[in-house]
């Protein structure tokens, strides 16, 4: 996996852009001038994973709003969680001759061919949110996103606090709701959590069942219901995002159990609905993953277009939250 380094701090953004269609859902927002004194607007092609979660919707809004604020012409496509749609969108941007291409990869592998096509046309590529595995790291300029492995470690460390506050004694039987198979956050969050578990809790923690819920509420509900059928003695849930955790809560309640008490729950993201569930005592802790990458991305795009050197990895600012912080934090949630 890629090594993350040289981290910077995040900025904040929210929503906007307009409509055009391609093989994935594609729309184009435009503005007459870039931020530098009425010069021709930078044309940015951005391919989004999809709209599978509250986090993803906030991320899309942030990118669209920041592009509008910067005065960039944004060509936007929604890949609907399909790599083939994303590759088609990127090839379309290459054909159109955009200034910069940015995308959040559906999965980690399978990008070399299309990235080589962009490089051949001298179109720089910026990754957002998720990393890729490639044979040539010069095929993209930088990654603006989060350290998912560290998020997994932090989830394990905050679970220690949750167990202590709950006064839990005995074996910790963990169900893990994984993100989309092959996606960087699913791979790396699981890796980070396992690192801490094996180093510090080899004798008392065990992941008894683990399966993808595709980062969706419906997936979280369906998979958690199956988990409870096969492993009714689960006492901890680690969900790779809030939406799967919220779906799992529905399954836990349907099974006659109390989420946050009978089954302690730790999730990752920090979207508003996650904080609402935490304020209600149904989620015990959340590791934040900031979706508001738009302003950072536009700063990077400007630097890349101007030929400036940018850091290889640019990280968002994040935090961790437990139930006693939920109500105080909820009014300030921007996503």
Give pLDDT tens digits for 76-130.
999 999 999 999 999 999 999 999 999 999 999 999 999 999 999 999 999 999 9
Cβ(127)–Cβ(152) below 8 Å? no
Determine contact, residues 173/206, Cβ cutoff 8 Å: yes
Q: What is the rounded average pLDDT of the residues 249-275? A: 97
CB atoms within 10 A of CB 48: 27
What is the Cα–Cα distance from 47 to 59, expressed in whole angstroms?
A: 12
Q: How confident is the model at residue 18 (pLDDT cuts 50, 70, 90)?
A: very low
- Tell me, what's the pLDDT at 324? 83
* Beta carbons within 10 angstroms of residue 134's beta carbon: 17
Residue 100 DSSP one-character state: E
Strand partners, 210: 176
**Structure confidence at residue 19 (pLDDT):** 33
Q: Per-residue confidence at 36, pLDDT binned at 50, 70, 90?
A: very low
pLDDT of residue 323: 85
Question: CA-CA distance, 138 to 261, in Å (whole number)?
Answer: 49
Helix axes 242-254, 272-279, angle to 10 degrees: 40
Euclidean distance between CA atoms 39 and 173, whole angstroms: 59
pLDDT exceeds 60 at position 237:
yes
Looking at the predicted structure, is the pLDDT value of residue 326 above 60?
yes
Measured from the Cβ of residue 265, the count of other Cβ atoms closer than 10 Å reads 27
- Token pair 């309640």 is found at 253
Read off the pLDDT band of 195 (50, 70, 90): very high
Region 7-25: what's the mean pLDDT?
A: 34
Task: Kindly state the percentage of the chain with pLDDT values over 70.
Answer: 88
Task: Scan for tokens 């109500």, then name that residue.
Answer: 327
- pLDDT for residue 316: 84
Q: Classify burial at 151, counting beta carbons within 10 Å of its beta carbon; exposed 0-12, middle 13-18, buried 19 or more.
A: buried
Work out the percent of the chain whose per-residue pLDDT is above 90: 83
Q: Per-residue pLDDT tens for 157-181?
A: 999 999 999 999 999 999 999 999 9
The DSSP call for residue 80 is T
Classify each residue of 157-169 as buried b or exposed e, where b means 16 or more C-beta atoms within 10 Å of its C-beta.
bbbeebbeeeeee
**Low-confidence winner among 242-246, 256-260, 261-265, 319-323 (lowest mean pLDDT):** 319-323
> On the CB side of 80, how many CA atoms lie within 13 Å of its CA?
9
Please, which pLDDT band fits residue 31 given cuts at 50, 70 and 90?
very low
Residue 21: pLDDT band by 50, 70, 90 thresholds? very low
Q: Specify the pLDDT at position 27.
A: 58
Provide the mean pLDDT of the chain.
89
Q: Residue 294 contacts by C-beta under 8 Å, 6 or more apart in sequence?
A: 13, 59, 61, 62, 63, 64, 65, 66, 67
pLDDT at 10 over 50: no
Confidence category of residue 142, pLDDT binned at 50, 70, 90: very high
Mean pLDDT of all residues in 289-307: 96
327 Cβ neighbours under 8 A, 6+ residues apart: 279
* Interval 252-258 mean pLDDT: 98
Per-residue pLDDT at 131: 94
> What mean pLDDT do residues 47-55 have?
95
In a 3-state reduction of DSSP, which class is residue 103? strand
Tell me the β-bridge partners of 30.
none
What residues does 313 pair with on adjacent strands?
A: 143
Whether 59 has a pLDDT exceeding 70, the answer reads: yes
């Amino acid at each position: 996996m890629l090594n993350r380094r040289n981290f910077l701090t995040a900025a904040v953004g929210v929503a906007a852009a307009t409509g055009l269609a391609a093989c994935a859902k594609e729309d184009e927002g435009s503005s007459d001038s870039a931020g530098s004194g009425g010069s021709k607007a930078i044309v940015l092609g951005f391919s989004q994973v999809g709209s599978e979660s509250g986090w993803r919707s906030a991320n899309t809004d942030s990118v669209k709003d920041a592009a509008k604020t910067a005065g960039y012409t944004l060509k936007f496509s929604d890949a609907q969680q399909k790599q083939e749609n994303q590759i088609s969108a990127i090839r379309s941007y290459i054909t159109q001759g955009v200034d910069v291409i940015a995308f959040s990869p559906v999965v980690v592998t399978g990008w070399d061919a299309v990235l080589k096509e962009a490089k051949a046309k001298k179109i720089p590529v910026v990754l957002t949110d998720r990393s890729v595995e490639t044979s040539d790291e010069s095929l993209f300029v930088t990654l603006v996103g989060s350290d998912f492995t560290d998020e997994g470690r932090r989830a394990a460390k905050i679970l220690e606090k949750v167990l202590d506050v709950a006064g839990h004694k005995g074996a910790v039987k963990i169900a893990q709701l994984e993100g989309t198979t092959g996606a960087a956050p699913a791979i790396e969050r699981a890796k980070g959590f396992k690192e801490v578990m094996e180093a510090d809790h080899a004798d008392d923690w065990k992941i008894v069942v683990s399966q993808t819920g595709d980062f969706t509420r419906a997936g979280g509900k369906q998979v958690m219901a199956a988990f409870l059928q096969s492993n009714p003695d689960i006492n901890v849930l680690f969900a790779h995002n809030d939406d799967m955790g919220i779906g799992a809560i529905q399954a836990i309640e349907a099974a006659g159990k109390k989420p946050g008490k009978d089954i302690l729950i730790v999730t990752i993201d920090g979207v508003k609905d996650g904080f609402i569930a935490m304020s209600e005592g149904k989620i015990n802790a959340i590791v934040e993953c900031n979706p508001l990458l738009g302003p950072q991305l536009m700063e990077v795009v400007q630097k890349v277009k101007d030929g400036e050197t940018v850091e290889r990895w640019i990280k968002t600012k994040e935090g961790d939250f437990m139930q006693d912080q939920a109500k105080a934090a909820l009014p300030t949630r921007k996503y």
